[in-house]
Structure 1
């Protein structure tokens, strides 16, 4: 691998040395700030060069979004035949010139630089010159510390190796664990933001399921592989994750995927500022949708006591329930009780009085 990537080792080491010379004018040349900021600047430079690939990635995502209705139709048509469904999906990608793996282009483009930086720092940890890093620069890089941890050591390195670089194993492991946790959280938030805000959730596709899986796989990968990487590589990885997060937040806010939550939020912001021009039909359709959503509000749930009171006040047509007129007579029936009589006796007297005319009829 050293033979194949040798020129890239030289390029990466040269870039780091140039930034180190620049930051050496401000900080101590042997300090972790000079070497650490050189690695961060390498990340920024690489990501700026990868912006065209990022733009291509956005276009590929838009093409995938435009194919969502057709992909959904294929899923519904061949939902019982997964193999035929996959074949039709691949056929659709080929006809439209869409590559679902285009979202991985920035990661694939970074891989050679990542491997080269890993090898450069690995050579420094072993005390070997690499690229344009000669013996004086090698000694300076080996002595550079970030928060007490040398750039060239790993989480699993022995205590004797760490102590030879004037550091403690506890400092190295604390710094390594903190960086791995930050890397995992930034990657998880980046994928979660993509899935919850910038994807049309009304249509489920294999691509969306793949992104959802990566949201949980990448943090685990960082935790597993991070303990085998030098601190300098963790600085590179954390910096590129933070860059990706900020870049994605900018794109989601300014150019979100149509049909996503972020797109609706952007439309509302433009509408509030008066910058969104809508056709009369679109305005009527939006108002009708809002009215429909307002009309679909669920009724408030009543307690059992309120339901019983409400049921007693409703007139009944049968089933042994008292008619409304009889319920309205209850306050009047209570008046004789206030005069000293009994409401119950008054009622019974009234009933007897109503039954008296019936006796002659029976005779």
Structure 2
């Protein structure tokens, strides 16, 4: 499945590269390859946008239902069957599917893995000809070759960690009000950026560039989504 998706996304990367490489003169420090990665990442995120927005709405609705759910859990803590039945009634009344969040993640996961594979092995999935790929300029600002890790840990690795942290914060704003879930989210807010930082120091800078652009898009999208959902909630009061 991921190989099939990888080939599709690889064709998209090659298509974008062919377009940008025919526009003007290639800047010495900002290669067509870097441009193609950035543009393809944005297109990729736009393709996933409807799924991401649905996930944000699902998370917001679950957050709104949390007080009722906690009340039912406390009231029927010694009667699991009744507790489950009452919770399903609340879900049905509010047209909420508790499995929707998991289904959305299951849809996104293989697509994200496939795109990550494309960025990690562009010859196999996108450019096909190793000689053509080897001859391409792959520079990006201070990075001479996006195939190699960023030589400066304050560069893309730090940006990857920072954007991961910002993304976690914006997602926390729409997260469930459950204390246990909030505690888990706070731990992830700290742990995940560090993990991404050390990982980005070791893998190709092209992957780190993809991660930074993807996170930046996600942060902007989440901020707009949080604001829009907040306005909708205020209007319905």
Q: Which residue of 1 aligns with 2:195?
A: 221
* Unmatched runs of 5 consecutive residues or more in structure 2: none
| SS of residue in 1 equivalent to 2:62 | helix
Deviation at 1:241, TM superposition (A): 0.3
Q: Which residue of 1 aligns with 2:113?
A: 115
Deviation at 1:245, TM superposition (A): 0.6
Q: Please point out which of 151, 155, 168 is paired with 1:173.
A: 151
2:143 touches 2:151 (CA, 8 Å); kept in 1?
no
Q: Which has the higher contact order (CA 8 A, sep 6+)?
A: 2
| SS of residue in 1 equivalent to 2:155 | helix
TM norm structure 1: 0.52
- Provide the rounded CA distance (Å) in 2 between the counterparts of 1:189 and 1:255: 19
Deviation at 1:184, TM superposition (A): 1.8
- Provide the rounded CA distance (Å) in 2 between the counterparts of 1:58 and 1:148: 35
Number of residue pairs matched by the alignment: 230
Q: Which residue of 1 aligns with 2:12?
A: 15
Query: Quick check: which has more Rg, 1 or 2?
Result: 1
After superposition, where does 1:15-164 map in structure 2 within 5 Å?
Answer: 15-24=12-21, 25-28=23-26, 32-74=30-72, 76-77=74-75, 92=87, 96=91, 98-99=97-98, 102=101, 105=104, 109-123=107-121, 129-141=124-136, 143-146=137-140, 147-154=142-149
TM norm structure 2: 0.76
The question of 1:204 aligning with 2:178 is answered yes
- Provide the rounded CA distance (Å) in 1 between the counterparts of 2:214 and 2:75: 42
- Provide the rounded CA distance (Å) in 2 between the counterparts of 1:212 and 1:94: 31
- Provide the rounded CA distance (Å) in 1 between the counterparts of 2:231 and 2:83: 24
Output the aligned Cα RMSD. 3.7
Tell me which protein shows more helix as a share of its residues. Answer: 2
Cα distance 1:242–1:103, how it changes in 2: closer, same or farther (>3 A)? farther
Q: Which residue of 1 aligns with 2:215?
A: 241
Q: Which residue of 2 aligns with 1:182?
A: 159
Cα distance 1:256–1:76, how it changes in 2: closer, same or farther (>3 A)? same
1:64 touches 1:98 (CA, 8 Å); kept in 2?
no
2:160 touches 2:211 (CA, 8 Å); kept in 1?
yes
Deviation string for 1:323-346 (max 9, x for gaps)? xxxxxxxxxxxxxxxxxxxxxxxx
Deviation at 1:190, TM superposition (A): 2.8
After superposition, where does 1:198-347 map in structure 2 within 5 Å?
Answer: 198=174, 203-256=177-230
- Provide the rounded CA distance (Å) in 1 between the counterparts of 2:169 and 2:85: 26
Deviation at 1:186, TM superposition (A): 1.9
The question of 1:191 aligning with 2:189 is answered no
